[in-house]
Structure 1
Amino acid sequence: MSYLLPAEFTTKMVDAGESKIFMSTRDTIIRAYMAGAILALAAAFAITITVQTGQPLVGAILFPVGFVMLYLMGFDLLTGVFMLTPLALLDRRQGVTLNRVLRNWGWVFLGNLGGALTVAFMMAFIFTYGFSIGPGVVGEKIAGIGESRTLGYAEYGVAGWATIFIRGMLCNWMVSMGVVGAMVSTSVSGKVIAMWMPIMLFFYMGFEHSIVNMFLFPSAMIMGGGFSIMDYLWWNEIPTVLGNLAGGLAFTGLTLYATHVKTGPKRDLA
């Protein structure tokens, strides 16, 4: 289980951010679509386990299987590129501009959304046998999550919006640590272990992940959740995306870059 030193894997982070910026639009969309779809399926899997066992911890322990699969396949989540691509801009890599970073974010967002919506429709179809019966226990659970994490926040106004934002920050602090985890080892087992731990933490703590929510909330609306698209956007997705951006970049990307790439001058002991 070979381990790379922080200075080594942090340089890999900057290299990865640069490569994603210059990736073709076609490849960016395909990789983002598959990442959104796999993570959505993992969310459905974890919720099903939680409902069937009555133990949220079991669902949280097993949810990272989706994250591990998508990163081993080289697919991309918006939460990951939020953390990686700005580092290439900060490092002044040739040809990297703010417009190109934003362009990458836009295509990854759309790809993730497409994948998550596809799985949302497919799972809703399965739960309802082609929308011919009620959604069942798992479907009702998903609908309940949608209501509690939109209208539940709305009850608290600005404080609720700020709560979502902070949960989004904490989420992508952990998720981006999982992205880094894929770079700290050269073995599959090492990568899996390093990715698993922070992803399990974020899911069990109920932090807000913008891509998981792209699956949960459309699924909830399809299966009878009593909230609107605007409720979902304003009382969850928008503050979650902003929180994900701030948390992943500030707590993981910039801190690792500042102390392992742009290290401070050594102290003069004379």
Structure 2
Amino acid sequence: MADQGPMLQPSEICNAVFSACEDKAELPFAKMLVLGILAGLYIGFGGLFATVALAGADAVPFGLSQVVAGVVFSLGLALVILAGAELFTGNTLMIGPVAAGRLPAGRAARALAIVYLSNFVGAALLAVIALLSGLHEAGDGAVGRAAVNLADTKTSKSFWTVLASGVLANMLVCLGVWLAYAGQSVTQKVIGLMLPIAAFVAAGFEHSIANMYLLTYAFLVQSTVETAPTLLAASAIGANLLPATIGNILGGALIALSYQAVYGQPKRG
């Protein structure tokens, strides 16, 4: 596809993102719900792709396998941006127009809450469908083992480690969204978002919506994995998601407020 024009400049990106955030917060409940479920599914597809990439990667150098997993995981945000969906972590950028007086805080909080819960529905739904598809049996069970080992690593971290990791994860996710808005063509948007997403996955940072899929899927398939390191309890999922979510909000706020301070504009019209 031919380029549609030069990429936007930083001030133009800021206005485009904040305007989009205002529009997102004003979506009707039903549309927000459906688009939130789709985003949970889409990010789940990225997690599914990354899990397959990690399956049987024991013979591959750690850094290389992580980078490959990160690159393929970027499918999730590409689907959200290009196909259209409402993703909680990216939508934390709403904090920017709230600070600029362009969006009421209550409206932004309502939108974020609806999208967060609907993202969970979509991610959990994909985990159930993936289980029923027998994906965990692929590679003589390598996919199932990779999913359980990844979940064990995530749920073994302390509250503060996950929180700090969540901050870094969503800084990169929001930068991926930011760069995607800079692009004027599909190619520009995909290239813009890919490296930040690959970086957060490769580093093992904690993304609450991705973890909704990854941990739920591991919980469902762990009984099929004979070498599962420990039994993953449902409470462990919540113990990871709480600090990851807080960290994601803080990371999104850091990006949004920084650019608002430099390029923020008053309320439209």
Tell me if both proteins adopt one fold, taking TM over 0.5 as the criterion. yes
Is 1:136 aligned with 2:141?
yes
In structure 2, what is the equivalent of residue 256 of structure 1? 259
CA 25–140 in structure 1, closer or farther in 2 if over 3 Å, else same: same
Q: Give the Cα–Cα distance (whole angstroms) in 1 for the partners of residues 86 and 242 of structure 2.
A: 20
Q: TM-score, normalised on structure 2?
A: 0.86
Q: Give the Cα–Cα distance (whole angstroms) in 2 for the partners of residues 38 and 165 of structure 1.
A: 24
Q: What's the CA shift for 1:97?
A: 2.3
Name the % identity: 26
Q: What's the CA shift for 1:66?
A: 2.2
Is 1:226 aligned with 2:231?
yes
In structure 2, what is the equivalent of residue 175 of structure 1? 173
User: Which of 85, 91, 94 is the aligned partner of 1:75?
Assistant: 85
In structure 1, what is the equivalent of residue 46 of structure 2? 42
Kindly name which structure, 1 or 2, has the bigger radius of gyration based on alpha carbons: 1
Question: Which range moves more in the overlay, 166-175 or 185-194?
Answer: 185-194
In structure 2, what is the equivalent of residue 198 of structure 1? 196
Q: Give ranges in structure 1 of 5+ residues lacking alignment.
A: 154-159, 263-270
User: Which of 218, 235, 242 is the aligned partner of 1:238?
Assistant: 242
Q: What's the CA shift for 1:176?
A: 0.2
Is the Cα contact below 8 Å between 2:97 and 2:260 reproduced in 1? no
Q: Give the Cα–Cα distance (whole angstroms) in 2 for the partners of residues 26 and 36 of structure 1.
A: 16
Q: Which amino acid aligns with 2:111?
A: N
In structure 2, what is the equivalent of residue 121 of structure 1? 128
Give the secondary-structure state (helix, strand or coil) at the position aligned to 2:258. Answer: helix
In structure 1, what is the equivalent of residue 74 of structure 2? 64
Q: What's the CA shift for 1:87?
A: 2.0
User: Which of 56, 77, 100 is the aligned partner of 1:91?
Assistant: 100
Q: What's the CA shift for 1:126?
A: 2.1
CA 97–118 in structure 1, closer or farther in 2 if over 3 Å, else same: same
In the TM superposition, structure 1's runs of 4+ consecutive aligned residues that sit over 4 Å from their partners are none
In structure 2, what is the equivalent of residue 107 of structure 1? 114
Q: Which amino acid aligns with 2:120?
A: L
Report the aligned-residue RMSD: 2.1
Q: Which amino acid aligns with 1:81?
A: N
Query: Residue by residue, what CA displacement relative to the aligned partner does 1:84-117 show, whole Å, maximum 9, x if unpaired?
Result: x222222222xx3222111101110111111101
Q: What's the CA shift for 1:46?
A: 1.2
Give the secondary-structure state (helix, strand or coil) at the position aligned to 2:216. Answer: helix
Q: Give the Cα–Cα distance (whole angstroms) in 1 for the partners of residues 9 and 42 of structure 2.
A: 30
Give the secondary-structure state (helix, strand or coil) at the position aligned to 1:76. Answer: coil
In structure 2, what is the equivalent of residue 156 of structure 1? none
Q: Which amino acid aligns with 1:255?
A: S
Give the secondary-structure state (helix, strand or coil) at the position aligned to 2:27. Answer: coil
Is the Cα contact below 8 Å between 2:66 and 2:201 reproduced in 1? no
Is the Cα contact below 8 Å between 2:100 and 2:260 reproduced in 1? no
Query: Residue by residue, what CA displacement relative to the aligned partner does 1:99-141 show, whole Å, maximum 9, x if unpaired?
Result: 2111101110111111101110111122378x9x9x9221122
Q: Which amino acid aligns with 2:200?
A: F
Q: What's the CA shift for 1:227?
A: 2.3
Q: Residues 152-163 of structure 1: matches in 2 within 5 Å? A: 152-153=156-157, 160-163=158-161
Q: TM-score, normalised on structure 1?
A: 0.86
Q: Which amino acid aligns with 2:175?
A: M
Q: Give ranges in structure 2 of 5+ residues lacking alignment.
A: 223-229
Q: Report the number of matched residues.
A: 248
Q: What's the CA shift for 1:189?
A: 1.1
